Every structure is written in C-alpha cells, then in structure tokens.
Structure 1
Amino acid sequence: MSVKITKASMRQDENQHYLGQVIFELENVKSPYEISFFSKNGKDWDYNLHFTAQSGDEEEFYELDARLEEDDDLFDELLSASWNTLEQSPSDE
C-alpha cells in the first residue's frame, strides 16, 4: 500500500521534547489522515491519529490505527518523514 505524504514537520519544544506531524493519504483509503508524534528522548514515540479535515469512516479509522500498531514499516516511514524535517540547532552541528 503506497503512502502519499502531503505535509510533514518536526520541532522541539522548550523542554526539548520532540513534536511531529504528518498529513498523509494511503492507497485504497478514503480519507486523508494526520498523525502527531511525541517523544521525550527522540527514541520512544507516542502518537495520535486524527482525521485531517472532517470526520470520515470510523471503521476505516480504527483499521488504520491497528495497522499503525502492527506495521513497523508504515509507522517508521511516517515518523521518518517528520523526523527528516527537524532543523538542527547550531550547537548540534
């Protein structure tokens, strides 16, 4: 199943926690989705899945959420898209 990433971002907040976001579409899935990532250390990640614009098919939403839990490749692809937008501070270079 191919992924089309519409928008991705990642930043660090004032506590140096990582906050990321990806808006994406999946082949054969009706609605576009947004996934938000959160990590205190950049290694262990929590996420929240959302409909992007308006509510869509609830069953499809739960199926996609379950897939994200099981499909490491899909999760990692979305996380990498977000992570790759993180700007390095001058002290990190």
Structure 2
Amino acid sequence: MKVINVNVLEATMTYSKEDGYVGKVHFGVEGHKNEYEIALHSKRGKEWGYGLFFLHESGKEEELLALEDLLEEDDELFDFLIETAKEKLEKQE
C-alpha cells in the first residue's frame, strides 16, 4: 500500500447528547491539486460515518474517488483523521 502525505489545515469536533460527535477535517493530500473536507459523525464515538468533499472548488473526480477508496482500505488514515478532530473536542471542554 502506498503511504500518502496528508497536510491537516483545520479540524473541529463537537459533542451533544442529541447529535453525538460531529466533526470535520480540512486537509490536503500530496499530489492532489485540490484540498478536501471530511465530515465525520458518530453517535457514541465508536462507529463513524463520513462524507468526503472538495474543500474550495470541484476538482478531479478520479482523485476524490481514489482518496475515498484509500479511506475505505486504510484504517490508519481514517483513524488519524478521526483522532485529529477528536483532539479539538478535548481542547474545547
């Protein structure tokens, strides 16, 4: 598996009893022209759902799909993005 370099630009996360954990991370990927936003959600902080989007303007769909495939395959990358957002939650409390 190819290791990719991810540059985190910004991360946030909030928690409420109604919504659970809601977070997002803005990041760039080495070799990709556009930056991304991943929106994260989990009721209890165990199983995470996500949406992956272009951050500023639309870019190459192939790059977005390749990144989505990578997130599905690479648990370390996905966990890194979740942990990056969770760190921001702890600092807000």
Q: TM-score, normalised by structure 1?
A: 0.89
The CA distance in 2 between the partners of 1:16 and 1:71, in whole Å, is 26
Deviation per CA, 1:23-52, whole angstroms, max 9, x where unpaired?
A: 000111111000000000111100000000
Seq. identity, %: 43
Matched, 1:56 2:59: yes
The aligned amino acid for 2:16 is: D
Aligned match of 1:32: 35
Counterpart of 1:79 in structure 2 is 82
Q: Residue 39 of structure 1 aligns to which amino acid in structure 2?
A: S
Give unpaired runs (5+ residues) of structure 1. none
Aligned residues: 89
* RMSD value, Cα: 1.4
Report runs of 4+ in structure 1 exceeding 2 Å deviation.
Answer: none
Instruction: Report what 2:68 is aligned to.
Output: 65
Greater Cα radius of gyration, structure 1 or 2 = 1
What CA distance in whole angstroms lies between the structure 1 residues aligned with 2:37 and 2:19? Answer: 22
Deviation, 1:6, is 0.2
CA shift at 1:13, angstroms?
A: 3.3
